[in-house]
Amino acid sequence: MSLMEINFDGIVGPSHNYAGLSLGNLAATRNAGAASYPRAAALQGIAKMRGNMEMGLEQGILLPLPRPNEVWLEALVADEDTDPAIVAGAWSASSMWTANAATVSPAPDTEDGKCHLTVANLVSMPHRSQEWPDTLKQLQLAFANSAHFAVHGPVPPTFGDEGAANHMRLTSAHGDPGLEVFVYGRSGGRFPARQHEQASRIVARKHGLDPDCVLFVEQNPDAIAAGAFHNDVVAVANESVLFTHELAFTNREGTYEAIRAKCPSAQVVEVPAASVSLEEAIRSYLFNAQLVTPPSGEMRLVVPSECRDSMPVWNWLQDMLAGNGPIRHVKVVDVRQSMANGGGPACLRLRVVADPTTIDPRFLLNSSKADAMEQVVTQYWPEQIDPGDIGDTTLAESIRTARSAMLSELALSELA
Ligand code: SUG
């Protein structure tokens, strides 16, 4: 059994648009009503996946969900007088942010030695609450091998669960047992706290985690109020490194101490607010980076190009590289279409530590499959969606056709 980290990126769906549906997500609110470019967005996502494969990392994919979601619209008795936000919700391509698809506990951490996945209920935002049934179907297919995986339904509603975006794992190496850190919000000031403490606790119990190897940590309400609607906007972990903003957690020192006590190999790389303010960290998405260990062994931070546009962030990264910390390289990627909806490189991927041979190969990527995906996107994905196009029946039909073309290219028609 060779356990490794596999990043499952969401393919950006053909209905990608900016409807401003997420209160507390500043980028999405700022870009509400802008024209979107689904074809460019999907190509940017595939280019990011390719870049990671070129580093020698295993790459997986998750498919866009059926949109517009007719089942949802029907349940909401939607007609022409329906609130435009509900119609836009049914068109949302938000499942591209697979960090919110599920919480994943790798096999070395669990009682039964299987990798456990709990699909996220995403109940805090109406447009995201419709995702889980179709996401669950997909996870059950990709991780159908029940000798190695246990896929769970969602935590019951009221207890908001946003999946891996509020979950970090610290370990000496991916295949070793790890410390799982669940970050919940109690208050977000003017904005909602999306991850409920009880949801995190339910997930940890369902996954059969050893209570000595779990921490529940409160996200700093000031971070939520500043626009960090998920913890992965202000912190990210990879193997023994926690890369975090100084103001990410309510109890900063207590959190670091508890992490070091339970995972002695842990190292904290903290960015002080004096160097990069919370606002600048959220604007640039410095922490919504992919922190990865390629086979070369030197840790790399994959940041959005907005980090290069920010002087304080870019200066901080140069100083970091000049020092002798554990993060040795920085790679810049262009995911601007997703970023404009508040989704950086880390939002676009779900990390699973597993043996790739135990996963349905249709969900694993290689470069010829990436070529084929690019062709489908170029041929079928709409070039542009203007706000007034949302709800248009001809466009709806072409979005459905585009998704079907991708499903048949990837031999996944059972997701139709
Ligand atoms: O839930 N944006 C997503 C972004 C999710 C980012 N994920 C992580 N941080 N892991 C959200 O707020 C915008 C859709 C719109 O407004 O049309 C949106 O859903």
Q: Is 342 in contact with 22 (CB distance < 8 Å)?
A: yes
Our answer to whether residue 347 is catalytic in this structure is yes
Q: Is 57 left (phi over 0), alpha (psi -120 to 50) or beta?
A: beta
Q: Is the C-beta atom of 20 inside 6 A of ligand 1? A: yes
Q: Is 413 in contact with 387 (CB distance < 8 Å)?
A: no
Of 196, 103, 113, the residue nearest 152 (C-alpha): 103
Atom of ligand 1 minimally distant from the CA of 19: 17
Class level of CATH domain 4-415: alpha beta
Per-residue pLDDT reduced to its tens digit, 224-246: 999 999 999 999 999 999 999 99
Per-residue pLDDT reduced to its tens digit, 186-199: 988 899 999 999 99
pLDDT of residue 317: 98
Q: Is 60 helix (H, G, I), strand (E, B) or coil?
A: strand
Domain boundaries, the chain: 4-415
- The position carrying tokens 């670091």 is 256
Q: Which residue's C-alpha comes closest to atom 10 of ligand 1?
A: 347
Atom of ligand 1 minimally distant from the CA of 343: 6
pLDDT of residue 207: 98
Our answer to whether residue 54 is catalytic in this structure is no
pLDDT of residue 330: 98
Our answer to whether residue 329 is catalytic in this structure is no
- The CA 217 to ligand 1 mean position distance, Å, reads 22
The CA distance from 22 to 28, in Å, is 7
Of 235, 38, 222, 230, the residue nearest 128 (C-alpha): 230
Atom of ligand 1 minimally distant from the CA of 288: 9
Of 258, 273, 169, 179, the residue nearest 228 (C-alpha): 273
What are the residue ranges in the chain where pLDDT is below 70? 1
H runs (alpha helix) in 173-241: 197-206, 221-225
Q: Is the C-beta atom of 100 inside 6 A of ligand 1? A: yes
- The CA 32 to ligand 1 mean position distance, Å, reads 12
- The CA 63 to ligand 1 mean position distance, Å, reads 17
